[in-house]
Amino acid sequence: MSLEDKLYPLLKVYDSVPDGMKTFLGSVYRILPGKWKWGEGYSQFKRLIRESLDWDEEDIREYQLKQIRSTLMRAQSSCPWYRKAFERAKFHPEKVLEPENIVSAPLLEKRDIQEHLQEFVSLEYPASKRLYITTGGSTGVPVGFYLQKGVSRPKEQAFLEAMWQRAGWQSGARLVLIRGHVTTQSSSGRIYSYDATRNWLLMSSAHLTAERMPEYLERIEAFKPDFLHAYPSAALQIAEYLDQSRQSWRVPLKAVLCGSERLNLPQKRMLERVFRCQVYRWYGHSERAVLAGEGASTPFFYFWPTYGYTELGPADEEGYQEVIATSFHNHVMPLIRYRTGDYVKVATADYPHELPWLAATEIAGREQEFLVSAMGRRISLTMFNMHDAVFDNLYAVQFYQREPGVAEFRYKPTPQFSNTQLETIRAGIRKKLGDDFEVSFRAVEETERTARGKHRWLVSELPVAKVREEEIGEKNEK
């Protein structure tokens, strides 16, 4: 097991110690070799990534078939839910002779995991090998699942680094992070903290008002980062402020790294103009079944064929297809034909591809949606992608807002939900929103959905708080 996995349960303890002690402990941890921190799995995945970049389509199909069959066989033999589901569908893993044969296996819905979580857990592994994580995904549908210690997190680190290297990333780079880190619950409180374990400056993504933006810029300039790693919505707020105040970005950056929210191509070009560097995008999810990142020279999203197996559902009227993913390597809780609720537009063969992989021109995942506080702060809904048990036993969650500083939290409870959980939910939400919000809570039979039938994270009657695409396009043409 990696040191990261061993120390993960102690993260809250580390966050609670005084800043001086935190800096000392973090600095010691930072100089440890990557193999110590991430374990042997990290080195193995780095090697797989390096070797697979030279594979042709036949090599890729051979690897995927091997992983698919391994995942299916293990799931059938050790996971009760899959055993019963395969039997009902008359599906036989041993008959999978090509990757495409997996379409005969039943689809997996998020509701299945919500209602039968423990039946998805492999009986071959003890609880000590499992790491419980939750996510609200892009839809406001909370799902809890298990990662495999010593495998899932080292794998994610290795693949993320491999993608970021396309934008110039190197180990030890100085980085400013603006991705939902809670620095204070005060609307006028501190906007930053220092992560000595990585030499990163962590800044709030919930205090990016015009009044405080000079403070952000001053801190960033003093830190002199190599990269800005931000929610797209946070990067856009900074860019909008600079444009509107007729200022220029003054810190040389190697790249801006943008994940977790949708960033369309016009917005990407606008950010590249303002920050004067490459803006790198990628797509993934907490379940660790699918991962795609832009190429080094093309804006297509290339799906890593060695990370998991990706299928696409039927195209809708706009040409979008749902991502259906099968996980590799996580034997503690495999995900097979998992409906992600995210949609992509496939890049056709008419355009030159850098890699012989499935590629997409657009990904419709989590949108840039905001709650607006009484003080005018914009709180990205991405901040509520909780990774703890706050939203356990809820089928769906949703915010409703019609005036700044006031919101209603709607939740659809499962039969296992207890009203005693409400206080934990209230505390978790208030920590994210801060002290200039009033929040009420209401149980509902159903949350509102999009035209595609997806749950909506936010129903807002406020003006949309983001740059319009046509405005961005006009600026890029000048």
Q: pLDDT tens for residues 197-248? A: 999 999 999 999 999 999 999 999 999 999 999 999 999 999 999 999 999 9
Let me know whether 353 and 379 are in one domain: no
Q: In which element (H, E) is residue 269 found?
A: helix 265-275
Calculate mean pLDDT across residues 164-181.
94
Better-scored residue on pLDDT, 69 or 430:
69
Q: Is residue 114 part of a domain?
A: yes
What percent of the chain has pLDDT above 70?
A: 94
Residue 147 lies in domain: 1-368
Buried b (16+ CB within 10 A) or exposed e, 150-170: bbbbbbbbbbbbbbbebbbbe
Q: Are 147 and 130 in contact (CB under 8 A)?
A: yes
In a domain, 470, yes or no: no
Based on the domain organization, do 295 and 440 belong to the same domain?
A: no
Best-predicted range by mean pLDDT (10-24, 257-271, 454-468): 257-271
Q: What is the pLDDT of residues 96-106, one digit of tens each?
A: 999 999 999 99
Residues in Cβ contact with 33 at an 8 Å cutoff, skipping those fewer than 6 apart: none
Question: CA 249 to CA 174: how far, in whole Å?
Answer: 17
Higher pLDDT, 181 or 389: 181
Q: 258 and 115 in one domain?
A: yes
Residues 201 and 267 in one domain: yes
User: Domain count of the chain?
Assistant: 2
Between CA 169 and CA 162 the distance in angstroms is 9
DSSP tag of 258 = E
Measured between alpha carbons, how far is 344 from 319 in angstroms, rounded to an integer?
8
Shared-domain flag, residues 12 and 40: yes
Cα–Cα dist 464/370, whole Å: 8
pLDDT at 478: 41
- pLDDT band of residue 109 (cuts 50, 70, 90) is very high
Query: Is 391 in the same domain as 416?
Result: yes
Per-residue pLDDT, averaged over 450-460, amounts to 77
Q: Are residues 376 and 305 in the same domain?
A: no
Q: Is the pLDDT of residue 313 over 50?
A: yes
Residues 135 and 256 in one domain: yes
For residues 155 and 285, membership in a common domain is answered with yes
Stretch 377-403: mean pLDDT: 85
465 found inside a domain? no
22 and 118 part of one domain: yes
